[in-house]
Structures are given as C-alpha cells and as structure tokens.
Structure 1
Amino acid sequence: MMYFIFAFLLIFSIILTGKSSNLVNYENNLIVNHNNILENGNIKHSDGIRNQDKGKNTKSEWWKNGIIYQIYPRSFKDTTGNGLGDLRGVIEKIPYLKYLGIDTVWLNPIHPSAGIDSGYDIIDYRNIDELFGSMDDYDELIEQLHNNGIKILLDFVPNHTSDQHEWFVKSVQNIEPYSDYYVWVDAKYVNGTRQVPNNWISIMKNSMWEWNEQRQQYYLHQFYKEQPDLNYKNPLVQKEIKDVMRFWLDKGVDGFRIDAFGCLYERQDLKDAPSIPKIPEKQQRIGYTKCLDESYDEIKSWRVVLDEYKKINSETKIMTVEIYGDMDLLKKCFGNTTHPGAHFVLNFCLGGLAHHPAKSFVHNLNESLFKSTPGAWPSWVIGNHDIGHPTTTFGEEMIDGIHMVQLLLPGTPVVYMGDELGMTNTYLRNDQSPNDINNIFLRERGRTPFQWDSTAQAGFSNKTITWLPVNPNYVTRNVEYEKSATKSHLKIFKALVNLRKLEVFCTGNVEFYEVSKYVFAFSRSNSILRSYFVILNLGSEIEIINLRKIKRLLPYKMKVRISSLNAEQYTGEIIRTDSFTLRPNAALVLESSFF
C-alpha cells in the first residue's frame, strides 16, 4: 500500500511539471533518511537525536523547543537615569522579546550584592538589590513575562556568598548554628610561621585560603576572598539552599541556571593538588576542589525539589548547570533514570570552535549529540556574560552562520543579549572596568550596555556616563537600525527563530558533513517531502561547492531559505547543489521540497 502511494505521488509530480528531474529529486528525498550508517566519512544518524526524545514528549517540554535569552540586567535598559539597567527596563522591553520570538528569559543575579563580582557575591538570597528595583518590580516582571508566554530562569549562586552575608558574619563570630556554614580550617605552622592549609589555587590565581583574625582560622574561597565557600558537608547548609530555591519557586520562577556547581565540595583530607606543567589549573583542581561526586549528588537532590513543584501543577520547573570540562564531566550532571539530575547542561563546545576546520565541528558536535548520556538533552552556548560576544570571537562575517548552527541543531539554544544584533566586545581601560579587577578576565568587555538605537548612549540610558561605556559601533549596530534595514543580523536571526519552529527542527534527523577542509554542513529532515541543509564556509577563501559529491542522493536543485549577510546568494534563489560558490565565512540554509 505504501509503495502504491509513493508511485502515485511520483506520477502526479511528473504530470504537474513535465520534467523527469522531479522523479530524481523525489527519489533522493525518499532515500535520504534511510539507514543509520557512516557515509563517505560523514556522521549520519537517522533516528533523530534520540528515539525517546521524538514525538509528543519532545513537543510537550517547553525548555526543549524554546530559545533561552540571557539578560544581564545591569546592561539591558536603564529606566531610572542612574546609568545602570534595572527590572523595569526588562519590563519595558518585553515587546522586543516577543518580536524576537524567544521563549525564556534567564536573568543574571538580581539579589543584594557587595558588588565585588557583579552580583555573584550575594548578601541576601531572598531579596532584590535596590539598584535593580524592588520585590514589587520583580513580581510585576514575572507576571508580565508569563502573560506574554515567556518563562523566567533566575541565576542561582549556591557555592558561595558575600562575606557580608548574615551567615558569614555570624560564622566568623562562631554563633550557632552558623559556625560550620563555611569551610574553616586551622593554620599550619612551620618553624613557628603560620602557613595556609595546602597549595590550592583559586580561580583568581591566588591561594584559596584567607586568614580571619577574629576567628583565628582560614576560610576557603574558590573565587574572590570576599566570596567564602559554603560548607556542603553541613546538612543545615543543604537545607538552607533548598529553602531558597523553594522561596523563588513559590514566587513563580520557572527554573534556575546553577552557577559554579562543580565547586560545591572539596577533598576533606585537604591533600595538596598536583602541580603539572602545561596543564591548566582548572583541570588540576578536578578531584580536589572541582567536580567531586558529592557535587553531582547535590544536583540530584535539587532536582527532587523541582519535581515536587511539577507534581503540583504539571508544569516543569527546570535546572541547567554551568560546567566547563570534558564530556565525561558533563554526562554525570544528568544523573540516571532513578535519580535524574539537571535537565540540561550549558554546552560551550560550539563557542570554542572559532577558526577551526570543518573536521572539528563534525567531531565536537557529534560528541555532544550522540555520545552523551542516553536521554540527555543538548544545549548550545556561543556567548555569555563571561566569555563575551561571539561576533568578536568568530567575526562579523561568520556570526550569521554560527547562529544557523546554534538555532537549527537539535537542542536548546542559549543566546546572550545583543548577539542577535552582532554586538561586539568593547575595549575598556582598567579604570572603566570597576567589577573586573585589573581586567584579569576581560569579562566586562562583553557586558557593555545593550544598543537600542542611534541616540546618545544607544538608547540604553539618558545619563551621560553609564556604568560601562557604550560600544562606539552602536550608531549602526542597534535594534532600530537593523529592524529597518533591508537585511541585517537581527532579521536573519529572527528568520532562523521562525524557521526553527517547524516540526523538522524539533524531531528531525541530523547528519554532519565535512564538505571540504573549511566547509562544514549539516542536514535536518524528518520526511520524504522536505529537508534542510545548512552550509558554512569557515575559511578565508571562496569555495566551489558540490554537495552531491558528499551526499549523492541530494536533489540537483534547492532553494535558499536564509542566507548570511555576506553571502552572494539571496533568499528564495534556486541554486544547483552540484556547482555553486560560497564566499569566505558565508552561510546558507537550503530547502528541498517535493511540492
């Protein structure tokens, strides 16, 4: 019966067009999804991302199909005239979020903070920093977002607090029950000289230990000394953190992005970490102060809290975790079938492939998609508040193509605000970077104000001097300009967001191709009637492309659905797949359709 239907469709297409090439095209599309094989050295998976992730289950989970948009509140929109973004600024710009078509907002920390680490040194987990507004402003924000069909994730910082937090102040004074809320250790003495307990080095390149004169002990800090680490060996600390999660869940938050979860536990024997030349310090910390098994167990216990709320109203509350490391470390975050962990992990592999050859793209994306824990859901991060804007990393000519990869692969894209415009990092002098001491990480170069229009301060604020300088390229790199342009990064981004809503990008198969040394491609398909092919020139030279050489059953002609800003092809153009040119860093989304 099935073959009869196929034959009827074939004859019908020939009658309609009178061209025998349609028979070839239809046959090509008919066979393209068959067999799970390795074809011509290209990764091919015809089961889609995972069998259990296809169909109804995938469509029902909002966090799988949607796009997460990261907002750094300090730099999004200032409504008070103090040069600093605020919650009412986010409320004001909800129409823009709707225009973009994003589904979820992730807010960087908005809690009261001492300002040492841009909000990641929290003084009070259950309140709003007055710099951003009030709890009433937060309540209105969450109500307005939900009324517009947008979820909200809060940045959650469970590893450490500010040294001004009430818990730490009382811990210094040895006031119960806070005495052991932090990691306190006695000093070592050598020939009567006080020394730190061991050789552990913080992320800030100094000792992890800070002496407290009042308590006469050292406390542990894996980040700044003003950010003491909580002691997760203390059950009371575990309970406190879960209670904080429940506080915000009760206020309607849809989930959390967990900061620095891998730092929660450290070796109890305080053994010195090895000093290995040419091995990054962060790798040397693994098994000593990073990624201990107990940290993963803590994620599982937090998942239990989230699932409690799902049982109440059948709405999934999610948790995504930040971790930098190899695939084995990422896998453990997902837990197992009986004790699930994170819903997904923030995957930075794509952001690390700038200027790499196509082979690296094929290998790394295949690792992320098909060699992770069964049932694990992928995500794609190419920029954020720490690593900056990907346009700076990849270059303006390539950013559209990288967005094609990020938005059209299976998984959840996490987009940093301004990346849709092609915003770039801004040069800052040391005196212009108040929260990035001595520009150690150059992080604040990617945190400058959002560029709304070409007026003074890019429409971000009416104050002459903002908390960070606006990038000088704001005159043409802004929302207003790009919305009115015939073609722009913003319009290409929006077109990709709309395209991604098609069923094929939710449940379709994916194949990766090394077209040439510097040309990477992948395809998405889930039926014999329509498929998509994304191709990106990663190199610095014009490439003559013959896609049928690497995929014999591809149609002879395909339509350009979306083209990058620097591509010579235009949207709607029909091209021959066996002979076309692709400019350096240019990218195309090609569409094949039987009808």
Structure 2
Amino acid sequence: MSNPTPTALPAEAAADADWWRRAAIYQVYIRSFADGDGDGTGDIAGLRSRLQYLAYLGVDAIWINPWYPSPLADGGYDVSDFRDIHPTFGTLDEAKQLIAEAHELGLRVILDIVPNHVSDQHAWFQQALAAGPGSPERERFIFRDGRGEDGSLPPNDWHAAFGGPTWTRTPDGQWYLHLFAPEQPDLNWDNPEVRAEFESILRFWFDLGVDGFRIDVAHGMVKDPALPDLGLTEFSVLTGEGQQDHPHWDRDGLHDIFRSWRAIADSYPDPRVFVAEAHVRPRRMPEYLRPDQLHTAFNFDFLKCPLDAGALRDVIDRSITSLAAVGAPATWVLSNHDETRHVTRYGRADTGVQALFRDRPIPTDLALGTRRARAAALLMLALPGGAYVYQGEELGLYEVEDIPEELLQDPIWERSGHTLRGRDGCRVPLPWTGDTPPFGFSTSGAAPWLPQPEDWKSYTAEANRADPASMLQLYRAALRLRRTEPGLRGEEFRWLESPQGTLLFERGNGVVCAVNLSDQPVSLPAGHSPLLASGLLDDEGLLPPDTTAWLHRG
C-alpha cells in the first residue's frame, strides 16, 4: 500500500533540503504524550490534538517512538508488523492524517525503525518456530544448536542487555539469539530476505510522506557469523569499548546496509533523512555519517557528560571536529526515553549519567537541577547542528522515582528479579492542564498507564504557558531565535577565552553564548547586549553560577 501523492510541506519548508543540519526535533513517546480516546494511553488522536502546541513551541520536526503493532514487551520496540499501527494508538488512516496535518503546520515527521530484532509474535518468527531447524524461515534469524553433549548449553557466553542470557531454547532443541529480551529475536542481516524486507518497509513509509527514520540499535544489526565467546561475566557495554573486533557491536558490515538505505532516501524528490542510535566509540562515529550513509547520529557523549566546563568543551570540540571531517553536523541531546531526566540528574552531586538501570533513587536537589537544566538548554540550543527535545523537558519535568513497584512496566524490572527499577520514571504521561491527575492527559479523565505526581500541577503546559519566566517560555524564545537570528542559523563556531569553570563561544554575526558552571559570578564580554538568559543577571550585570546567556555584539 502506498500514497502516490503524500501531503507536501509548505513551499518554504519543502525547499530547505538541508533542514536536518540544524533542526530542533521533538521526541514523542507516544504512550505518554496525549490520550485522545480516553483509555489512559497516549495515541495518534492525542498527538493530532496537540500538534498546535508543538507548532507554538517552535520545533521543526517530531520523532515518534514505535507506534507499530506490538505485544509491548519492551515499550513497542518488539514490533510484530512494520506496516501498520498498534490498535491502542490508532489506525493507518489516522497516521496518514497526522502526517498531513503536521506538514500543514511545517512540522516534519520522523518515525522509529527497529532493524536489529522483531517481536517473537512477528509472522516471520512464528513461521521460523513452525518450520524447524535448517529451514529457510529460520535463516532469517540466528538459530544455532546448543553446546554440550545434549545441546543443553547455549551456543556462546553472551549476555542480554536487559539481564539474563542472550539465548533462548526452543522446544525442538535449537537456540535463538536475542541481544535484548527473549521476546525480541535478532534478525540475520546476512540474509538477503531481511535486507529486502527493510528496504521495502522504508519505501512504504516514505511513500506515505514520512520525512525520515531514527534507527534503533544502528550499531548492532551485524554479527560475527562465528559467534565467538566474549569471556565476560555480564552484558558488555553498548559501545563494545575495550573489545577489538566486537562480535555484535559496531561491525564493518553495517555500512553496506546503510549505503543501500541512503540510496533509497535520496531517490525521493524531497530527500528523506536518517538519525542513528549508535553507541560507538567517538572515533568510529564519522564512519556512519559519511556522505553516502546516514545523515546524523545521536550524541550520547553530550547527553551523558557531567556539567563540567572542561568535560563539556572536550565533548563539543570532539563532536564538531570529528564529524566535520565527513561533512556531517553534530547533534545535541539532554534527555530521552532511556535515561533519567536531566532536571533530576543535574540536581545531584554527580551530574553525569550514572548506571542506566538503578536499584534506588539518588538524592537530588530539584531547584538546583532546574536552574542547571535551564542553563544546559541554552547551551545546547546555541551549538551548531541539530538538537533533540524530549517531551516534557520543555515543561521542566523531573524523573518520577517513586512509582509503586506493582505499577512498573519496564521489562528490566522483571528481568532483574525486581532489583532494578528501569526506565519508567522518564516515561510518565505529560501534564497538560488542571490541578489534579491526569492533568488533561486523557480526554476521559482515565488514570494514565503510569501515575503522575500530584505536584505536577505546577508543571502543566497550561501553567508553563501562563508564566513568562517558565521553562516553556525559555524554550520558545530560544527556538524562535534559532530560526530568526542569522548568527545562529549557520555552522560557524569559535571558542573565546573565558575564566575557569565557564564556556564562551561565538557563532556567526557576533552572537556569543556564555555559560557559567563555576561557583562565582563572572563578567560578560564587553560591548555585548543580552539576547536571552536562563536566569536573571545579578545587580552588577554579572552572570551568576549555573546560568547561560546569549549575547549580541553592539
């Protein structure tokens, strides 16, 4: 099925073929964005009803986490059909309407694609189970005989990302590989059928007008066919750091796949784009972003970096210079659906990302975290390249770390034997209006699929919109200047000298960004006037600690 005449963007937006080089993209975790049918779970109807809000915010595009049919064993990242919509979220016709309505507002639409694995309920995997060992159906996946005299030991010693072994045995005695949950069998990307199928899936959605894809686990699709032991006692880090020629992360065979995908994207009159979720060593990232492969990649080094001026400068330098070598722009991101919200992280003694999956909350100062989050937002949005805004960060939302155990839904909770709480705390449904839950999230007032804190009444979009000093208004002002201030539209970037604990850099036309991460107020450059600041300057016009200001010469 395809739509030969997808709804076009407004002429001015459609003519900007390089929009992705500087776009501000808003991440929609669809289960938690807005509930339009009143069942307590976010959906396409809810998203359509809030598109005007996103246009008001001033982003350029939306990225929607998986909305395909799925048993939801891993929040939709276990896909059973890539060409349809999960009934809880809506219908394919509604998806087409959403794309059209977003385009009318000048918003591009990026979907998630999950090429490393499928759901164990996917037709292909069910066919593989039924067909038995040695069948063509099993060649689409990674089935192996076990080790030991009776094959009762797994084929190798790999460990799964969500805990436990990375192999599950089938009733006929063979084992199948899953780098994540058992409900997510890995595909065999050495199989031509797998490659052809995903090329067809890309065309299906591109023909419907989708503007691009975020590629889940882009560094994990290709495996060493020998499946050698890793010799580790637990799951290896996502980058394969310290392991040369890692057997399942960041293998060279990936790049031929992405060349074929890029050719498909470039075949459309308004070229489609890709952003990679690739947890790779910094020196390897440019290889994914060569001109014939992917357009951009998430900058996890920046997301995970502590709020330390020296560390941030190193990450920013490395990101911009390494990617410039292949003509790619950097991207910047502070939070997403897999990490603790940065308002909470920045209120801690250690402001970097700690363990991905924690067993208990770490003490945090939310007032301090909010002040630092405002400063970090202006730092991020002043940098050249693209920026990602995770839903709710523009409202100042914090991590919800006291969800009752019986309501936790992340598979990490079960897979860890109820010792690690997982990622639910950053996925709590958004507060829109009112003083009590569900804060306008659901049209019917139904309880959301994860509970919202009572004190989110002061964080609603409605409350933020009414307060000129709110986080929302800070983001709106910054996003507006990114579009209208010529100095922020290009890719020029130059460091300026500044005191220890601070960052100072210049963009085009004399726009300067000053970030004070020290514990003392600092002077601003002479001859510059403020454009925007994350907090009030002090009585002497100095930049206080944990504050960022944008300045203009003259």
Aligned to 2:265: 306
CA separation of 1:538/1:74 partners in 2, compared to 1, >3 Å: closer, same or farther?
Answer: same
Structure 2 residue 477 is the aligned partner of structure 1 residue 459: no
Deviates more, 1:364-373 or 1:557-566: 557-566
Matches within 5 A, 1:468-507: 468-501=450-483, 502-507=485-490
Name the counterpart of 2:148. 189
Give yes or no for the alignment of 1:80 onto 2:37: yes
Q: 169-178 vs 581-590, which deviates more?
A: 169-178
The answer to whether residue 504 in structure 2 is matched with residue 521 in structure 1 is yes
Distance 1:260 1:514, change over 3 A: farther
| 1:142 aligned onto 2:81 | no
Q: Which has the larger radius of gyration?
A: 1
- Residue 455 of structure 1 deviates from its aligned partner by 3.5
Q: Are residues 1:363 and 2:321 paired? A: no
Q: State how far apart, in whole Å, the 1-side matches of 2:279 and 2:297 are.
A: 10
More strand by percentage:
1
C-alpha displacement of 1:276: 8.8
Q: Aligned residue for 1:415?
A: 389
Residue 164 of structure 2: aligned partner: 206
Cα distance, 1:330 vs. partner?
1.1
* Cα deviations by residue, 1:44-98 (Å, 9 ceiling, x for unpaired): xxxxxxxxxxxxxx96412123211110110111111111011011110111011
Q: For 2:56 and 2:470, how far apart are their aligned partners in 1?
A: 15
Structure 1 counterpart of 2:427: 447
Change (3 A) 1:242 1:277: closer
CA distances 1:87-115 after superposition (whole Å, capped 9, x unpaired):
01111011101101111111000001011
Q: Please, which of 511, 515, 518 is the counterpart of residue 494 of structure 2?
A: 511
Question: Which position in structure 1 is the counterpart of 2:416?
Answer: none
Residue by residue over 1:332-386, the C-alpha shift from the partner in whole angstroms, topping out at 9 and shown as x without a partner, is 1113x5xx11111111222222332x11121110110012233012111111111
The structural deviation recorded for 1:464 is: 4.3
Shift of 1:277: 10
Q: What does 1:278-427 align with in structure 2 at a 5 Å threshold?
A: 280=237, 282-283=239-240, 287-308=246-267, 310=268, 314-335=269-290, 337=291, 340-356=292-308, 358-372=309-323, 373-394=325-346, 395-427=369-401
Report deviation, 1:538.
1.7
The answer to whether structure 1 residue 542 and structure 2 residue 520 are counterparts is yes
Partner of 1:236: 193
Say if 2:296 and 2:330, in contact at 8 Å, map to a contact too.
Answer: yes
Report the alpha carbon displacement of residue 586 of structure 1 after superposing the two structures with TM. Answer: 1.6
CA distance in 1, matches of 2:446, 2:517: 40
How many residues were matched structurally? Answer: 505
Range with greater deviation from structure 2 (74-83 or 420-429): 420-429
Residue 223 of structure 1 and its aligned partner are, at CA, apart by: 0.3
Matched, 1:67 2:50: no
On the 8 A contact 2:339/2:423 being kept in 1, the answer is yes
Partners of 2:535 and 2:37 in 1: CA distance: 36
Aligned residue identity for 1:131: T
Q: Cα distance, 1:124 vs. partner?
A: 0.9
Distance in 1, Cα, partners of 2:524 & 2:101: 50
Gaps spanning 5+ residues in structure 1: where?
A: 1-57, 548-555, 570-578
2:408, 2:421 within 8 Å by CA — same for their partners in 1? no
Are the aligned partners of 2:239 and 2:280 in contact in 1 as well (CA < 8 Å)?
no
Q: Is residue 448–residue 471 contact of structure 1 (8 Å, CA) maintained in 2?
A: no
The answer as to whether partners of 2:278 and 2:297 remain within 8 angstroms in 1 is: yes
Aligned amino acid, residue 409 of structure 2: P
Q: SS where residue 389 of structure 2 aligns?
A: strand
TM-score, normalised to structure 1, is 0.81
Cα shift at 1:580: 4.7
In structure 2, the gaps of 5 or more residues are: 1-14, 347-368, 414-418
Question: Runs of 4+ in structure 1 displaced over 4 angstroms?
Answer: 276-282
Cα distance, 1:193 vs. partner? Answer: 6.5
Select 1:178's aligned residue among 120, 134, 137: 137
Among 579, 583, 592, which residue is 2:544 paired with?
Answer: 583
Kept in 2, the 8 Å contact 1:263–1:290? The answer is: yes
CA distance in 1, matches of 2:175, 2:235: 29
The 5 Å alignment of 1:147-166 reads 147-166=104-123
Give the 3-state SS of the residue equivalent to 1:349 in structure 2: helix
60-69 or 178-187, which deviates more? 60-69
What SS class does the counterpart of residue 468 from structure 1 fall into? coil
Identify which range, 359-368 or 508-517, moves more after superposition.
Answer: 508-517
Query: Contact 2:163–2:412 at 8 Å: present in 1 too?
Result: no
| CA RMSD, Structure 1 to Structure 2 (Å) | 2.3
